[in-house]
Amino acid sequence: MKGRFIVLEGIDGCGKTTQLEHLVRWLPSAGLMPDAAELLRTREPGGTSLGLSVRELLLHTAADDAPAPVAELLLYAADRSQHVETLIRPALERGDWVISDRFSGSTQAYQGYGRGLNRSLIEQLEQIATGGLQPDLTLLLELPLEESLRRRRGEAADRIEAEGQAFLGRVGEGFADMAKQRGWFRVDAAGAPEDVSQRLEQVLLEQLGE
Ligand code: Z5A
């Protein structure tokens, strides 16, 4: 692949969206990207128009119509397959850079560690949905559970956010395990947004600079 694929992961409310907005402004002038390359910002679920419909099914269905755990897993995989095949892979082949709010690590963390679905089944499904595509760099924003809950206080919870603290605790452990297994970069997401941005910039410069 000619382009670069960067992913931000972490528990709900860890600050991914805030940091993505910063990185989308900072990256094009950071001296890392070739002049001709564009930067595409995307997310999962919902990075494509089909994916937006899947996102609605996943996060905003009424409680009595919510997907069962395996159906939920397959919907995330369908969203990812469409995302990779129609948006991410073509962009990387053109030489563009892609930065995504979540990718396949989220499925292992939420559906594997969180819901307790079979993790090797999830790995097989990941292989099918991504066609083997892996991020060049995954940045895990780490934030204590209490701080993530405090930050989101007052905001309406979607179906997954409403799962509660024990669920989110398992998800956080899953992310920490995956960071070790998959060589992700762990970034302290506590403190002022500008401080977190600086930590992310430093990792990007170290890892993607010539
Ligand atoms: N999910 C899954 O189960 N399986 C999968 O395979 C995939 C996803 C791909 C997608 O939700 C849901 O799908 C998600 C995982 C599940 N479950 N949940 N919930 P989403 O895309 O709607 O949301 P999210 O990814 O969970 O992110 P979020 O809740 O929007 O949070 P965030 O993007 O990490 O954080 P933020 O919006 O930047 O910040 C949250 C708040 O904190 C906000 O008020 C900010 O102003 C504030 N903030 C941000 N940074 C700071 C700092 N540094 N200090 C103080 N306050 C801050």
Question: What's the pLDDT tens digit per position in 114-151?
Answer: 999 999 999 999 999 999 999 999 999 999 998 988 88
Burial class (CB in 10 A: 0-12, 13-18, 19+), 183: exposed
- pLDDT computed for residue 63 by the predictor: 83
The vertex-87 CA angle with 84 and 88, nearest 5°, equals 55
Nearest atom within ligand 1 for CA of residue 195: 53
| Most ligand 1 atoms within 8 A of CB, residue of 8, 17, 117, 158 to mutate | 17
185 forms bridges with which residues in the sheet? 139
The pLDDT-based confidence of 182 (bands split at 50, 70, 90) is very high
Q: Is the minimum distance from the CB of 112 to ligand 1 under 6 angstroms? A: no
| Most ligand 1 atoms within 8 A of CB, residue of 9, 14, 16, 18 to mutate | 18
Asked if 102 and 178 count as a contact pair (C-beta separation under 8 A), the reply is no
CA distance 171 to 115: 9
Q: Cβ of 50: how many Cβ atoms within 10 Å? A: 15
* Tokens matching residue 50: 């089909």
**Average pLDDT in the 168-179 region?**
97
Confidence (pTM)? 0.96
